[in-house]
Amino acid sequence: MTRLLAVIERDLKKFKRNPVVLAMSILMPMIYLVILGNSFQGKLTGLPLAVVNQDGGPQADRVMEYLRAVQAGPRTFSVAVLSDQRAAVDGVRSGRYKAALIIPPDFSRRVAVSGRPDIGLFLDNTDSISSDTIRNLVDAALSSIKSEYVPIREPADEPLLRDINLYGKVDYYQSLVPGVVIMAIFLGTLTTGAFNLVMDRFLGIEESYLLTPLSKGHIVGGLIISGLSITTMNAALILTMSMLITGIPLSRGIDNFFPVLFVVVFTTLCLLSLMFAILGRISHPRIVGVLSGFLNVILFFPSGAVYPVASFPGWLKSFARVNPEAYAVDALKSLLFKNAGMAAVSGDVAFLALFTAAMMALSILTFKRTL
C-alpha cells in the first residue's frame, strides 16, 4: 500500500504543477456544449428560401400566408420574395438560398379547375437535411390550400392523436449535458494516467522506476487512481456548470448524487484502463496526439450523445454494444432526465465495471517494466 500511495502522490504533484492542463480539460467541454448546442439547436431555423410568385391569385396567396406563418412561428426559414425566376435559381446555385420556390402564373386557375396544383421547387440537395425540411414544409403549404374552412369541432370520424410525455421537457441543449460530462472524462483520461507514463518514457524519467521495488501493479494502479481523483472532480464541476447553463434543475443531480457519482467513477476507471491498455507501451507523446482525435471520434459519436443509437446502421449498433461511452451516456440520461434510481442503471454500471476489470488486467499484463 505504501508503494502504491507513493506513485499516486508523485503523479498528483506532477499534475498540480501544470494548471494550464487542468484549465483546458474544464474549458474545452464547456466550449463544446455552447458551440454545439447553439449550432444544432435541435430544429433547423433561418434557412433562406427565395419565392417567386408569378400568379398573385387567391390560392397562391394562401401558400404565401402559410410560408410567412412558418417564418414568424417556428422560423424554420426566412422568405425572400423575388420577381425574377432566373435570379432565384442562380441564388440557389451560388449558395445564397437553400431553395427557390416558383409559383407559376396559372397556379390558382389549375387548383380551381383540376384540384392538382403544380409548383416548382429548386433545391440545394447537397445539404440533405435542409432540403428535406424545406420540401416537407412546402408540401404542407400545398396541402393547406385544400382546406376551405377550419372546423369549430374536431371531426368525429377522423382518428385523433394525443401525445403524452412521460418525463419532463428536455430540449436539445439540455440533452447534450451527459455527452459533455463523458467528453470531460475522456479528456481527463488523456491528460492523466497513461499519458504521464508516456511523457516519463519520452523524458527518460521512467528509468528511475527500475531502481525501485515497484511492481507493474503498483505503477499501473497508482497512475489510474491518481487520474481517477482528478478526472472525477473535473467531471463533477463540469456537470454542475452544464446544468446551470442549460437550465437543468440542480435538484435532479442532488437527488441522484450517489448514482451519478457511481456512473462517473466507473466511467473514469473504464476509460483510464482502456487508455492504459492502448497507450501503455507507447514511448512518444506525438503518437498520443494522433490517437486522441481518432479515439474521441470512434468512442464519442457512436455513444448516443449527439444522435440516437437506435438510428445507427447495423454495424455501428454492434460497435455501440461494446462502447463503454454508450453505456455511460445512457446511464446519465436516465438519472438526469428520467429521475431513475440506481436499479434502472445497474446494467450500464455492471458493463462498465466488467470492462474496467478486463482493461485493468490487460494493462498490467502488457505493461513493460524494462528498458
Task: Give the 3-state secondary structure of residue 207.
Answer: helix
Indicate whether 189 and 263 sit together in one domain: yes
Identify the domain containing residue 192 by its residue range: 2-40+171-366
At residue 3, the pLDDT reads 67
Q: Say if 151 falls within a structural domain.
A: no
Closest listed residue to residue 332, CA positions, set 182, 201, 122: 182
The pLDDT of 256-279, averaged and rounded, is 87
Q: Say if 154 falls within a structural domain.
A: no
Least reliable range by pLDDT among 2-6, 40-44, 60-64, 86-90: 40-44
At residue 149, the pLDDT reads 46
The pLDDT-based confidence of 329 (bands split at 50, 70, 90) is: very high
As given in the structure block, the three cell numbers for residue 231 are: 478526472
Indicate whether 225 and 335 sit together in one domain: yes
* Max avg pLDDT among 143-147, 187-191, 239-243, 248-252: 239-243
pLDDT at 5 exceeding the cut of 80: no
Signed CA dihedral, 1, 219, 296, 346: sign only: negative
Distance CA 223, CA 175 (A): 32
Question: Which residue among 95, 127, 144 closes a domain?
Answer: 144
At residue 133, the pLDDT reads 83
Q: Say if 51 falls within a structural domain.
A: yes
Q: Say if 10 falls within a structural domain.
A: yes
Indicate whether 230 and 314 sit together in one domain: yes
Indicate whether 21 and 70 sit together in one domain: no
The mean of the pLDDT values for the chain is 78
The pLDDT of 174-185, averaged and rounded, is 88
pTM of the model: 0.71
At residue 328, the pLDDT reads 93
Considering just the CA atoms, what is the radius of gyration of the chain in Å?
A: 28
Indicate whether 179 and 305 sit together in one domain: yes
Indicate whether 185 and 235 sit together in one domain: yes
Instruction: Find the Cα–Cα–Cα–Cα dihedral 126, 127, 132, 135, rounded to 10°.
Output: -70
Indicate whether 186 and 64 sit together in one domain: no
Indicate whether 257 and 137 sit together in one domain: no
More confident residue, 190 or 9: 190
At residue 323, the pLDDT reads 93
- State pLDDT tens for residues 200-218: 777 766 666 666 666 667 7
At residue 267, the pLDDT reads 92
Q: Say if 166 falls within a structural domain.
A: no
The pLDDT-based confidence of 351 (bands split at 50, 70, 90) is: very high
pLDDT at 76 exceeding the cut of 60: yes
- pLDDT > 90 in the chain, percent: 8
More confident residue, 182 or 208: 182
- State pLDDT tens for residues 282-326: 777 777 777 887 888 888 888 888 878 877 888 888 999 999 999
Indicate whether 35 and 56 sit together in one domain: no
- State pLDDT tens for residues 18-43: 666 667 667 777 776 776 656 555 56
Indicate whether 193 and 295 sit together in one domain: yes
Q: Say if 180 falls within a structural domain.
A: yes
Helix (H) / strand (E) element for 100: namely strand 99-103
At residue 326, the pLDDT reads 92
The pLDDT of 71-77, averaged and rounded, is 83
Strand partners, 101: 51, 121
Closest listed residue to residue 257, CA positions, set 190, 335, 319: 335
Output the CA angle 99-83-69, nearest 5 degrees: 55
CA neighbours within 13 Å on the CB side: how many for 76? 17
Indicate whether 24 and 70 sit together in one domain: no
More confident residue, 223 or 241: 241
| Domain CATH code at residue 105 | 3.40.1710.10
* Cβ atoms within 10 Å of 158's Cβ, excluding its own: 6
Least reliable range by pLDDT among 73-82, 223-232, 266-275: 223-232
Q: Say if 371 falls within a structural domain.
A: no
At residue 105, the pLDDT reads 84
Indicate whether 240 and 107 sit together in one domain: no
**Domains of the chain: total:** 2
* Max avg pLDDT among 150-154, 274-278, 349-353: 349-353
114 Cβ partners below 8 Å, 6+ apart?
none
CA distances from 99 to 49, 78, 85, 322 (A): 5, 11, 12, 42
Q: Which residue has the cell 409559383?
A: 103
